[in-house]
Structure 1
């Protein structure tokens, strides 16, 4: 694994964490997880098992630390880890098609829905949280899908254009 790639992945996760901290919550203090968006960008750029493992693990731990959801540390780790590998599988299956902005944005939106579903399920079944799945899905996950999709649609082309001018070895440079 290349040190420059590790540094770029760390920057993506750090930007996601900073966005997560500065974005105000809505509803009962819930907020969209922009670390998830940055994790998806990292997976698109570095679609290999080791990178996906690192992105999923670090994003999960940081999301767990910063979560405002009671008892949300473990569900965040479970959610990010599983979501990272499912999105990785989708990207590998759709190889050339996933390079198109509309398709990659759709994959990020699917990943956000998947992440929210896994998080709420883990919160209910693993830690025994007494929360209404349907209500939280509609009021928190669906708005997060819209916000993460819009942010991904704006940020991903900027990052890819910047990386084309550098010596980083990403999936886009192949």
Structure 2
């Protein structure tokens, strides 16, 4: 892995930690998972499977530490591992559409939906849910998915600009 991109991934995860800390718990003490936006940007910038695994573990551990959902620690780690694997696959499948804003938005939306479903399902079987599944899905997961579209696009465009200015080559600029 490229050291600069690894450092950028670490910085993005740190930003995600701060964002995850300031987002309050809502229905059933679930938070909008804005950490997913920085995870997706990290995967878009550093398209290496090792980065996907490390990003998933770091993101999962940090969201597990900051969760307001009772018993949500293990479901947070599980959902990040599944989500990062799927998003990595989506990024690989759409490589020929390099960095198009609509692709970034779609990947973000689908990744957030998968993350929410995996989290809610695993939490349901491990600790139970404080509200019905469909209420949490409609009240938390869908609004988070829409929010993450815009957050991911904004963060991705900002990071791309910062990398261009600093001379760091993006994957789609190297080909």
TM-score tier after normalising by the smaller chain length:
over 0.9
Counterpart of 2:140? 140
- In structure 2, the residue corresponding to 1:96 is in which secondary structure? helix
The structure-2 alpha-carbon separation of the partners of 1:19 and 1:128, relative to structure 1 and needing over 3 Å to count, comes to closer
Deviations 1:105-146 (A, max 9, x none): 111011000100000011112x14144211100011011111
Distance 1:79 1:98 in 2: 26
Deviations 1:131-172 (A, max 9, x none): 421110001101111111121122211111111222324313
Alpha-carbon RMSD across the aligned residues, in angstroms, is: 1.4
- In structure 1, the residue corresponding to 2:168 is in which secondary structure? coil
Distance 1:34 1:46 in 2: 19
- In structure 2, the residue corresponding to 1:99 is in which secondary structure? coil
Counterpart of 1:36? 36
TM-superposed CA distance for 1:7, in Å, is: 1.0
Counterpart of 2:4? 4
Consecutive unaligned residues in structure 2, runs of 5 or more: none
Counterpart of 1:124? 124
Tell me the number of residue pairs that the alignment of Structure 1 and Structure 2 aligns.
173
Distance 1:32 1:162 in 2: 26
TM-superposed CA distance for 1:34, in Å, is: 1.3
The correspondence of residues 4-153 of structure 1 with structure 2, limited to 5 A, is 4-125=4-125, 127-131=126-130, 132-153=132-153
Deviations 1:25-48 (A, max 9, x none): 333443211111100000000111
Residues 5, 169 of structure 1: 8 Å contact kept: no
Residues 64, 72 of structure 1: 8 Å contact kept: yes
- Per the normalisation by structure 1, the TM-score is 0.93
Distance 1:102 1:79 in 2: 24
Distance 2:87 2:93 in 1: 10
- Per the normalisation by structure 2, the TM-score is 0.93
The structure-2 alpha-carbon separation of the partners of 1:26 and 1:2, relative to structure 1 and needing over 3 Å to count, comes to same
Distance 1:31 1:128 in 2: 17
Of the structure 1 ranges 13-22 and 149-158, higher mean CA displacement relative to structure 2 is found in 149-158
TM-superposed CA distance for 1:4, in Å, is: 1.8
Distance 2:12 2:22 in 1: 16
Consecutive unaligned residues in structure 1, runs of 5 or more: none
TM-superposed CA distance for 1:85, in Å, is: 0.7
